Structure 1
Amino acid sequence: MADNKSESKKVSRRKFLVRGGLGTIGVVAIGTYIFRNSIRREILGTVNSLDLPYTDNTDKPMIWFEVTSENNILLHSPKVEMGQGTFTGIAQMAADELSVSMSQIQVIHAASSTGNIDSFATGGSTSISGLWQPLRELAAMLREMLLKEASRKMNVGIDELTIEDGILSGNGKTMTYAQAAEGVENWKVPDTPVLKSLKEYKYIGKPIARVDLDAKVFGDPIFGMDAQMPDMLYGAVVRPTKIGAKFVSADIKPAENMPGVVKVIVEEDFVGVVANSMLEAEKAKDAIIVTWEGYEDLNTDAIFKIMTVGNGKSTIIQKHGDALDKQDGIETLEFRTPIGAHAQIEPNGVVASVEGDSAVIKISTQVIGLTRKEVASRLGLDVEKVNVIPTYLGGGFGRRLHTPHAVQAAVMSKAVGKPVKYFFSRKEEFQHDMFRPPTHHIIKGKLNAEGYLDGLEHQFVSGDVGNHSALIPDFLPPIIGADIGAIRGGFIQYTGIPNFRSVYWHVSLPFATSWWRSLGLLANTFAMESFMDEMALKANKNAVDFRLAQIGDDSIGVRLKNVIKAASEKANYSEDIANGRAMGFAASIDAGTPCAQVVEVSIVDNEIVVHKVTVSLDPGLAVNPDQIRAQCEGCVIMGMSAVLYEQMYVENGELQPTIYGPYQMALMKNAPKEIDVVLLQGKDTPGAVGEPPLGPIGAAIANAVRRLTGERLTELPLKLSKTM
């Protein structure tokens, strides 16, 4: 299909409201700065539960779709596939509105040259939910465009035509989509047609097999690590091992004449080596003598002292009723979580080719638009002259929400006049990650005479998650007063309690922290739901009943109650210990999606063993139920790994460990034998899925251990202090 250079398209009222929505947040945020605390809390609560809309192009079907000569549809996705199943879900949505079979849809990453660029990112569990409305509308527009062309070419009225698997039929005549599209140069984009009803859909709501399965099973070269360009060289960048070290100078002479070295590039902010092979580039890099300054010999204890409630700047993000400060009978617990690495299988890397006034970048990234802008800015190129070609991601989890190594590779390519491939070593990936920040929590509660909470307070401190990231405008954090990533899961969901308050403390850390799958949800829910469980024990009440009695009756409260009941019933939740096993319960709300989990654990050789996890999730409309179940299973195991094994530490000013093994992670033998997933539908549109199931797992395990051993574990990773 050719681009339409003379199209005219009215902006629908829905699109105006969607696009205006983000602008409204900005205006209200400025008002927040003026009126401060009460409005600020309102905004933070709204942002915390907001279903983020898709705000980029929704008016040009021709930059989203191609009709091939084989009568198939090529869908250029602005969202990247990093294992979450996005390509399958959006293929289902497009196939249904286009009236084609699943086998006729091929989804590929949209290169920035197509113009189909997501200026936000792939993240925040928004791929399916954000595209639910606009993608179906775009597919419906294309269907109407093809109907009109077929009607004209076949001389058959549009109302007389039917479509089945991309074949138009009417009055005894047939024509394929490919034939209808053939030779058309200027397409007139219609107003958004009426979308099909859910009953008319053949694929949405069905457990369709993954569209990217074959490529992964057969090892096709689809990942960034596989990317190649003709006549390609290899790059390496000198990086410090000490936290806070700043580059001063470098003696590059030892590296310049080493075997295979093409050029050593010294920039103001980095030193790079380009060689004929990756091994030669790495060896030459190690021979460069660099002078660093500005670092300190920090250790983990020093970091934890920094990360303590009371340090930094506080913001009350939630408040109702009276504070607990001066009351008697208050129960208090403190919790800590460690530094966490992303530890994705594929390290960050890129292949860059700069020729004249243009550049081509092949990269595993979650931020195509941002990468494009940064490369263009550094090289002084027009943004349109930089073509970013995304690849499949060998794990993302937020690690690839900023990929400045694309700039370094582009600078090296320009210096040598050839494409340059540059990937982090495993050590570099661990030491220069954008880490999950450590956290500290102080939670207070008071029971009334009936054994329910009269007051609850959560105070927590975190390093940057969204703040100071490449995605958050500089003006936003000081205006809204809190890090919108760190506060995920930090709100008190038991709004039936008469008095409650949540206070966020921000502390800057001397190393980079940022987005990690589920953001603050894992740490905040571990603390909050562990405390709720302890209060249920003190009140001598069933943990499930205790929670249900203190949840509000608003729409999200009703949905939370339903997932709690569903998980409890499915797992036959009991607080009895049977055959050396105990159950633990926890629940959370993230990005408007409630989730509850029941785990069954035992202690073997003084280690916590998880046997079964029951997950109840209300993601709204399930576009692909199997995809959602797989996400739940992945979240459970990733969460288990984080809460039972994973932690980074600081020693002599260096982040450690730097390889797998010493950085402990859950292994196949540690996975539960059974993960049972129950899906509910509390609303009629898709909601967030990729991160919400990470919330409850840590607290659910800790709560089971508490019943089994009598010990309340308050630090991650969970380790027994008593020998069983």
Structure 2
Amino acid sequence: MPEIPFTGRSRSLKLAPIRATDYKDYPLIFKYDYMKDNNSANNIKSKTRRRFLIKASIGTAVILGAWASIAPVRRMVAKKINEIDLEYENSDEPITWFEVKADNTIVLHSPKVEMGQGVFTGMAQIVAEELEVGIAQVQVVNASSLGRPVDKFATGGSTSIAGLWDVLRELAAQMREMLHNSAAKIWNVPAESLTIKNGVVMGKGQQLTYGQIVQKTTEWKVPKEVKLKDKKDYKVIGKAIPRIDLKPKVMGEPIFGLDVSMPGMLYGAVVRPDKIDAIFKSADTSQAEKMPGVVKVVLEKDFVGVVAKTYIQAHDAKKAIKVQWKVNRVWQQKDIEDMLKVGEGTDFVIQKKGSAKRALREEGVIEASFNTPIGAHAHLEPNGAVALVEKDKATIKISTQVVNMTREEVAKRLELKTSQVEVQATFLGGGFGRRLHTPNAVQAAVLSKAVGKPVHVFFDRQEEFQNDTFRPPTHHMLRATLNKKGLIHAIEHNVSSGDVAFGSPLTPGYAEILAGADFGAWRGGMIQYEAIPNFRAVSWRVKLPFATSWWRSLGLLANTFAIESFIDELALKTGKDPVQFRLAQIQNDERGQRLKGVIEAAAKKANWGKPVPKGRALGFAASTDANTPVAQVAEVSIDNGRIKVHKVTCAIDPGIVVNPDGVRAQCEGAIIMGISASMFEKMEIKDGAVGPTIYGAYEMALMRDAPKEIDVVLLEGSSKPSGVGEPPLGPIGAAIANAVYRLTNQRLRSLPLTLT
């Protein structure tokens, strides 16, 4: 395709008095809207989307430290984080994103990766809508880090479609107008006289495909303004389009990182600790160096690895390396449980209204505690990478959620410029937050440099479990008082957790100063029933001796389990219906109206309050996450002492629904993953080791444990899309536990849910 020069464009921004900022190019906390065109919400001025964060200079850090120490300000920061809309930060022109082929196919180079969530299909729909092409004409591929859009943040946080909504529509509309105007110039006719259909520009008996226009054009001008379609005119958005990545997955094409092969490729293996809280000291590699197929043993200051001709030879040689580890302490499960208690560690008030603390000193306080265990990601494809390091270039092919960070880490370790490192993201065989940090790319690059050939380095299953970045265990204390009307007068939620966001390379250091509490750990931990006169939420941070980090929905699953189980308990104490009890205490603002909407829709669809089959009961729960409210009803029975989920009804309001089938699939997947985490999954520490380290021993939901029916109701209570991938994980654990109580009178307060 010919190179397209671009013209400059004017941009204007509307600044707010307090804003989050760009720290080392990683957008983080706040999103502020750009100045809207006064003529129409659909007339979008071309602009560079930038986030303005506070620069972390020494002077500013001092000011921030003093400023953020004020509790009300930290609570304001927490509120903003809880309601954030993360938009993609774009400074690229359309040609960086789109490739127009001679056969009139449009290729979108996506900065967001496809890890099974179906975002490629949603993006194809958005592009097809504004480019005026058929969905079959659009291909979506993972963007290379060279010459294509690079996501400075990550694929995660339920932000792919929501964050690209404005950007993709604008870029596609710009590309459409560039092609439209170029056709008019070729024919020397007014652009208004031409029409477009299915990627063909027509007028006065002539027609040109987009592919033909590109071949005839050498100079392009990006329009200063483009008109975006009104919702009423959508032809593709809102339709249940089949997955565009379905065929390669069904046919078993080599699209995942584990499948990657390069000419002359060797295999690598890295020695990793089998104990937590262990630091690499030294290694005796003499035996490994003599083993069959070994090409080289590479000893670095922080790790030791081996390169061999085959995968088996590499892993056999790895086992022969004798490594000395500095183990600071041999930890046991009880040690972790003793650390992880409300009252231990550092506390931060993240939400406050009225005088909950004072109100809860009165008589009649109802109390309850809840616990959740360590959770593994347990994704199907283990972590790894294929690296080829040449004299002045490194190529990394990897299943990753963080293309930009991977590029920067490899460049730093190899002492290259980032422009000399190409990261090619593959499809992900499961992500769930596990691939938000990929030091395995650095290790693969170091091994490749040592032997001068491409090297394929992947964890085995045991290593994947042992060296996971786990979902942290949690402990919750809830307290409440009721008023004479049988509603909540005051409520407090305390959650103790290990880190989720803090300590991650994605989170800038100043975030700890600014936010105080780990916003990943308390995600879902605020009180959403804001009509309650007095409420308070407190996050307790505990430093754990093993790696904990992002896990799908972060703290949402654990926090919602605790809060919504407690809300159910309070409703039953008052003799009120749990659905009506919730509705009566929701604030009448936009967020509250959307929450009410899903609660009412789920209850209606599930026939809440009507008779259910004998031996079964319904449980209700709701949550709001990523600006998406979700309510769920679980229909449950007890079979030979085991909990059985027969049906889940889910109502979700993700704003504009780009692909209804995709949203339903996300809800179904999240619910089944939530059932697995709520009823089966648990990791423990014994003699310094974490386990189990193999499927089977690490229990997960099987096909027999999945509900026979998942009924999803879609609402559109917002004018733009919000998150979908994680919000449906929130309510399911509490919904099941609440149903179990109705069957057994046992209030289950710990995950995984087990009857006594």
TM-score where L is the length of structure 1: 0.97
Aligned to 1:612: 647
Deviation at 1:13, TM superposition (A): 4.4
Partner residue in 2 for 1:436 = 471
Query: CA 1:600 to 1:6, structure 2 compared with 1: closer, same or farther past 3 Å?
Result: closer
Superposed, which structure 2 residues align to 1:591-602 within 5 Å? 591-602=626-637
- Once the two structures are TM-superposed, the CA of residue 187 in structure 1 deviates from its matched residue by 2.5
CA deviations 1:301-354 (Å, max 9, x no partner) are: 111111111111110000111114421110100000000000000001110000
Q: Helix, strand or coil: the match of 1:585?
A: strand
Q: Measure how far apart 1:191 and its partner are.
A: 1.6
- Residue of structure 2 in register with 1:621 after alignment: 656
CA distance in 2, matches of 1:210, 1:218: 14
| Distance change (3 Å), C-alpha of 1:231 and 1:487 | same
Counterpart contact for 1:639–1:694, Cα < 8 Å: yes
Alignment of 1:315-330 (within 5 A): 315-322=348-355, 323=357, 324-330=359-365
**Amino acid in structure 1 at the alignment position of 2:603:** S
State the one-letter code of the partner of 2:332: N
Name stretches of at least 5 consecutive residues in structure 1 with no aligned partner.
none
- Aligned 8 A contact 1:137 1:192 in 2: no
TM-score of the superposed pair, with normalisation by structure 2: 0.93
Change (3 A) 1:275 1:192: farther
The alignment yields a C-alpha RMSD, in angstroms, of 1.6
CA displacement, residues 105-143 of structure 1 (integer Å, 9 cap, x when unaligned):
000000001231000000000000111111010001111
Note the C-alpha offset of 1:51: 1.2
Instruction: Measure how far apart 1:25 and its partner are.
Output: 11
The CA deviation string for residues 347-404 of structure 1, in whole angstroms up to 9 with x for no partner, is 0111000000110000000000000000000000010010000000000000000011
* Structure 2 match to 1:8: 8
Measured at CA, do residues 255 and 96 of structure 1 come closer, stay the same or move farther in structure 2, by a change above 3 Å?
Answer: same
**Residue identity (%):** 56
Distance 1:92 1:32, change over 3 A: farther
Deviates more, 1:503-512 or 1:286-295: 286-295
Which amino acid in the other structure matches residue 437 of structure 1? P
SS at 1:393's partner residue?
A: coil
User: Helix, strand or coil for the counterpart of 1:23?
Assistant: coil
Q: Is the CA contact (8 Å cut-off) linking 2:360 and 2:490 kept in structure 1? A: no
1:123-522 to 2 correspondences below 5 Å = 123-322=156-355, 323=357, 324-522=359-557
1:49 matched residue in structure 2: 83
Shift, 1:23, TM fit: 2.4
1:23-76 CA deviation, whole Å, 9 max, x = no partner? Answer: 27999993883561111101111111111111133x400010000011110100
Partner Cα separation in structure 2 for residue 107 and residue 284 of structure 1: 40
> Deviation string for 1:67-101 (max 9, x for gaps)?
00111101000000011010000000000100110
Q: 1:591 to 1:32 in 2, by over 3 A?
A: farther
Residues 45 and 334 (structure 1 numbering): CA distance in 2 closer, same or farther, change over 3 Å?
Answer: same
Question: Structure 1: how far apart are the matches of 2:264 and 2:155?
Answer: 31
Task: Note closer, same or farther for the CA distance 1:673–1:546 as it changes in structure 2 (3 Å cut).
Answer: same
Residue of structure 1 equivalent to 2:38: none
Q: Which residue of 1 aligns with 2:17?
A: none
SS in structure 2 of the partner of residue 428 of structure 1: helix
Give 1:4 shift.
3.6
Change (3 A) 1:183 1:255: farther
SS in 2 for 1:353: strand
SS in 1 for 2:630: strand
AA aligned opposite 1:301: K
Deviations 1:460-500 (A, max 9, x none): 11111100001000111122111111111000001111111
Give yes or no for the alignment of 1:60 onto 2:90.
Answer: no
> Quick one: distance in 2 between partners of 1:2 and 1:370?
31
Alignment-derived partner of residue 708 in structure 1:
743
Give the deviation of 1:296 after TM superposition: 2.0
Cα separation, 1, equivalents of 2:93 and 2:3: 9
Among candidates 683, 699, 723, match of residue 718 of structure 2:
683
Distance in 2 (CA, whole Å) between partners of 1:424 and 1:128 is: 31
Closer/same/farther in 2, CA of residues 130 and 170 from structure 1, 3 Å limit = same
Residue 628 to residue 32, structure 1, CA distance change in 2 (3 Å)? farther
Q: Is the 8 A contact 1:66 1:75 kept in 2?
A: yes
1:306–1:125 Cα change, 3 Å: same
Matched, 1:23 2:53: yes
Counterpart AA for 2:441: A
* SS across alignment from 1:69: coil
Q: For residue 114 of structure 1, give the secondary structure of its aligned residue in structure 2.
A: coil
Question: Helix, strand or coil: the match of 1:43?
Answer: helix
Answer whether contact 1:361 1:387 (CA < 8 A) is retained: yes
Asked if the contact 2:68–2:74 (Cα under 8 Å) also holds between the matched residues in 1, the reply is no
Give the Cα separation in 1 of the matches to 2:511 and 2:689: 31
Distance in 2, matches of 1:25 and 1:285, equals: 44
1:199 positional shift: 2.2
Match of 1:113, SS state, is coil
Cα 1:380/1:83, change in 2 over 3 Å: same
> Cα distance 1:577–1:299, how it changes in 2: closer, same or farther (>3 A)?
farther
Please say if residues 577 and 708 of structure 1, whose CA atoms lie closer than 8 Å, have aligned partners that are also in contact: no
Instruction: Give the aligned partner of residue 80 of structure 1.
Output: 113
Q: What's the secondary structure of 1:193's corresponding residue? A: strand
Alignment size in residue pairs: 720
Structure-2 separation of matches of 1:49 and 1:558: 15
Q: State the one-letter code of the partner of 1:267.
A: E
- Quote the Cα distance in structure 1 between the aligned partners of 2:364 and 2:491: 12
| Conservation of the 8 A alpha-carbon contact between 1:7 and 1:186 | no
Amino acid of the residue matched to residue 98 of structure 1? L
CA distance in 2, matches of 1:692, 1:25: 32
Q: CA deviation at 1:184?
A: 3.4
Could you say which residue in structure 1 is the equivalent of 2:599?
564
CA distance in 1, matches of 2:295, 2:241: 49
